[in-house]
């Protein structure tokens, strides 16, 4: 069956192809009666606009992309992401936009940016931001950054990672812990925390600042750094490595809840008593309150962060200039996973 074209509608309705195109893409430029006649004719003929052709003619897709550094399976497994996307989605729904997840294409962020049919990007957690930002600027569409080192002339949304991390470590220290492992998100830098960027950099700064207040620092025996994959499995594997060591810690401070939960589950499988190891996470994902023991963690406003990111990007797409760097507050949530030394 032959597909109905704009030319068919023009002939049937008695208007030019340009007028028919205006009826679909710029109806405000035509009399209401003309638009109605053209749309009625299109419905009668069974016409459906080609979204690709339409975006080419208007220069807009009606879609924003969320650019991730991970693959889609890894993104979906991260419990933080759904709440963030819910916030983005609320604004997209309100403003009549759709949402596209944009992971690396065949391992390449550049290829993903170049091939995504979107009006703009929210970049999430891009640590190697410099090279990526060059590609985004070359693409020529608006973008904002989330959970990354802010750039002077680009809107940004971050949380106060440093304060949140410092409060988490101070709580552990206040409970008398001095044998501590910092469970960091794998960076590709093999524990060289001085090379961290973005979220990892600020959280590590917070941990170190708290240790400094107690006259402590990273060492090879009592306070050590270990990296793992930011997954439940990664947390469990990291815990097994920690527990095989000669000097076992009394507390683990993790950069993410999902890693802390994996560590808690591994401890339970190894029949380690709750009072033998304290645990602190970061993010306050829904699972944090339901594990046993319930996880002490640092809460961040996932949904609000997504809403603000989407609003900033859509404002930029609409030509509004707002290069504000927003920093949202965090809150230490005390539950049952940290025990006082000696009790």
Domain ranges in the chain are 6-58, 63-158+302-327, 161-300
144 beta partners: 122
What is the pTM assigned to this prediction?
A: 0.82
CB 339 within 8 A of CB 175: yes
The H or E element spanning position 297 is: strand 297-299
Query: Under CATH, which number does the domain 161-300 receive?
Result: 3.40.50.2300
Q: How many Å apart are CA 109 and CA 228, to the nearest integer?
A: 22
Residues 174-190 have a mean pLDDT of: 91
- Homologous superfamily (CATH) of 6-58 is lambda repressor-like DNA-binding domains (1.10.260.40)
What are the tokens at 327?
């920093």
The mean pLDDT of the chain is: 89
Task: Return the sign of the alpha-carbon dihedral for residues 53, 56, 59, 62.
Answer: positive
Q: How far apart are CA 307 and CA 314, in angstroms?
A: 11
Residues found in the chain:
343
Q: Which CATH code fits 63-158+302-327? A: 3.40.50.2300
pLDDT digits (tens, 9 = 90+) for 191-220: 788 988 889 999 999 999 999 999 999 987
Q: Is the Cβ–Cβ distance between 281 and 297 less than 8 Å?
A: yes
pLDDT confidence bin for 1, thresholds 50/70/90: low
Residue 36 is predicted with a pLDDT of 87
Q: What is the mean pLDDT of residues 180-198?
A: 87
Write phi, then psi, for 298 (nearest 5 degrees).
-110, 120
User: Could you tell me the pLDDT band of residue 84, with boundaries at 50, 70 and 90?
Assistant: very high
**Which span out of 53-57, 66-70, 160-164 was modeled with the highest average pLDDT?**
160-164
Residue 131 has pLDDT above 90, yes or no: no
pLDDT at position 51 over 60: no
Helix/strand/coil for 311: helix
Tens of pLDDT, residue by residue over 285-324, are: 999 999 999 999 999 999 999 999 999 999 999 888 888 8
pLDDT tens digits for 14-44? 988 888 878 877 778 888 888 888 888 888 8
pLDDT digits 0-9 by tens, 231-282: 899 999 999 999 998 889 999 999 999 999 999 999 999 999 988 999 999 9
């Amino acid at each position: 069956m032959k597909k109905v074209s704009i030319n068919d509608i023009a002939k049937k309705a008695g208007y030019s192809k340009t007028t028919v195109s205006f009826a679909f893409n710029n109806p405000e430029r035509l009399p209401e009666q003309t638009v109605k006649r053209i749309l009625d004719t299109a419905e009668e003929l069974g016409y459906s606009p080609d979204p690709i052709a339409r975006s080419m003619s208007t220069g807009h897709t009606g879609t924003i992309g969320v650019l991730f550094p991970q693959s889609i399976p890894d993104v979906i497994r991260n419990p933080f992401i759904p709440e963030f996307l819910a916030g983005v989605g609320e604004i997209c729904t309100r403003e009549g936009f759709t949402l596209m997840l944009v992971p690396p294409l065949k391992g390449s962020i550049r290829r993903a940016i170049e091939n995504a049919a979107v009006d703009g990007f929210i970049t999430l957690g891009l640590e190697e931001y410099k090279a990526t930002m060059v590609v985004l600027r070359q693409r020529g569409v608006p973008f904002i950054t989330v959970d990354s080192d802010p750039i002077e002339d680009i809107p940004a949304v971050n949380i106060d990672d440093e304060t949140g991390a410092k409060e988490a470590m101070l709580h552990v220290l206040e409970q008398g812990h001095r044998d501590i492992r910092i469970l960091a998100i794998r960076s590709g830098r093999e524990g060289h925390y001085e090379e961290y960027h973005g979220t990892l950099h600020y959280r590590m700064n917070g941990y170190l600042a708290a240790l400094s207040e107690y006259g402590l620092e990273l060492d090879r025996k009592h306070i050590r750094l270990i990296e793992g994959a930011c997954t439940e499995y990664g947390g469990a594997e990291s815990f097994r490595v920690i527990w095989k060591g000669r000097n076992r810690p009394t507390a683990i401070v993790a950069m993410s809840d999902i890693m802390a939960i994996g560590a808690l589950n591994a401890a339970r499988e190894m029949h380690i008593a709750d009072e033998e190891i304290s645990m602190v996470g970061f993010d306050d994902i829904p699972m944090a309150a339901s594990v046993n023991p319930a996880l002490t963690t640092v809460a961040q406003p996932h949904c609000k962060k997504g809403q603000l990111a989407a609003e900033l990007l859509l404002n930029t797409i609409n030509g509004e200039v707002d290069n504000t760097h927003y920093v949202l507050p965090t809150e230490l949530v005390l539950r049952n996973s940290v025990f006082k030394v000696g009790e």
